[in-house]
């Protein structure tokens, strides 16, 4: 059996973080997910999906996102039911979030730095630090042969021509 859900959407409100009697954190939120098509008026409609997240992930999510944040979630669909105060049976279908991904940079000046003020060097796609001293890369470094990940074409002055036929995709 497979029960897997992957959604990308925006939070309709801040995460409602609560704790069970046993001290377990639980967060609930709604995710607005745009439909792929437009209606007869040309407007794009959205589905509002109930989501629940548990434990440390719930606390982390509540600390890092707010209303309007773009969020990716992975989880499973769960249907539960309970009896309300009027004695009626209520069914609830929701996504139990197992993983989430923040899809936008964090906003807000000094609060946006999540590494306690230390600045780690930015990494390029090849895993080597980029210009740690904010110096331009001139390609004239005498130690460029010491680093196998260094750009072999830097400073050569030759133009590299790549056609669409050279690309693997």
pLDDT for the residue 121: 38
Please choose, from the candidates 107, 35, 121, 111, the residue with its C-alpha nearest in 3D space to the C-alpha of residue 67: 107
pLDDT for the residue 133: 43
Spans of all domains in the chain = 5-105
pLDDT for the residue 5: 94
pLDDT for the residue 128: 39
pLDDT in tens, 90-139: 999 999 999 999 998 876 543 433 333 333 333 334 343 444 444 444 44
Please choose, from the candidates 18, 49, 19, the residue with its C-alpha nearest in 3D space to the C-alpha of residue 34: 49
Per the rule left: phi > 0, alpha: psi between -120 and 50, beta: everything else, 40 is: alpha
Q: Into which CATH architecture does domain 5-105 fall?
A: Beta Barrel (2.40)
pLDDT for the residue 140: 44
Low-confidence spans in the chain with pLDDT less than 70: 107-169
pLDDT for the residue 72: 93
pLDDT for the residue 104: 85
């Amino acid at each position: 059996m497979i029960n897997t859900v992957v959604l990308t959407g925006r939070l309709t409100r801040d995460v409602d973080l609560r704790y069970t009697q046993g001290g377990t954190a639980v967060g609930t939120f709604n995710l607005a997910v745009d439909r792929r098509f437009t209606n007869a008026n040309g407007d794009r409609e959205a589905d509002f999906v109930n989501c629940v997240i548990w434990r440390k992930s719930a606390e982390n999510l509540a600390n890092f996102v707010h209303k309007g944040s773009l969020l990716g979630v992975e989880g499973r669909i769960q249907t539960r039911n309970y009896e309300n105060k009027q004695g009626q049976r209520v069914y609830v279908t929701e996504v139990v979030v197992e993983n989430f991904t923040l899809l936008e940079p964090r906003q807000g000046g000094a609060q946006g730095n999540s590494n306690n003020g230390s600045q780690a060097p930015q990494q390029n796609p090849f895993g080597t630090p980029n210009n740690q001293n904010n110096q331009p890369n001139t390609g004239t470094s005498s130690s460029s042969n010491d680093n196998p990940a260094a750009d072999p074409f830097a400073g050569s002055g030759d133009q590299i021509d790549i056609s669409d036929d050279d690309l693997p995709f």
